[in-house]
Structure 1
Amino acid sequence: MPKDRKTIAQEDLQSRIDKVIDMLERLEKEVAAIHNSMPVAPPRCRIARYLAKGRKEFYWYYKLHAATPIFPTQSDGKLSKYKHLGKAGSQAYIDAIEQITARTKIEALDRSIEALRQ
């Protein structure tokens, strides 16, 4: 017995819903995998370069810059917007790059998840 148009439409709708749900689950698992595999930079953080004057010359240094104070200071424990990273290629600098990259990936995945939910 051939299927009627209404049954075909319902099956098509269910198939598309299942595909969207599968994609949502895959993207959410990918976000969780990023969070579980490495530290992630706080939202709205970026790396800023600044020039410091030494005794004989100037040096470029880097810092992690947040929109609001979130980093504890070493001296008094208060919060600062900045976290010193040192020179390019230092371990702190490389770690910050990896954390910001992870944050960027998560934000892109979150935008895709939101588009699927709409």
Structure 2
Amino acid sequence: MSGKAIATIYFYLVSAASLALIVMGIFNAVNLMINSTQYEKYPLRYEPGIDCESGFGYPVPYKIMPPDVREEATISAQDLEKQTKNCLRQQELERRQHKVDDFKDAITFSLVGVVLFSIHFPLARKQSRD
């Protein structure tokens, strides 16, 4: 194989990879738009396991054996309210961060793909014509 053929293959492979990056960027942008417009709150990444209303912020496992002592400590109403507020605040921060990450991914994949494609595809066409 000549050096020209290897260069042509390289330029076409990088062009194909950059098209894949552009498609991923478009997918992330569409996902961001759908999540921003179709949901009341931006969805969390791992929503099923989070429950702020129980006061713990996570599912509580069942006890297998009863405790030896009958007296159990209970959480006060103030502490329960504080835990719920902290959990909801943490969820809102996670929603905001997830939205920023989705926006960043959409922009980054699209821009990197466009730049790589605009550099390599014309060179691939030029190499294949010569």
TM-score interval, smaller chain:
0.3 to 0.5
As a proportion of its length, which structure holds more strand?
1
TM-score normalised by length of structure 2: 0.41
Structure with higher Rg: it is 2
Q: Give the structure, 1 or 2, with the largest relative contact order (CA under 8 Å, sep 6 or more).
A: 2
As a proportion of its length, which structure holds more helix?
2
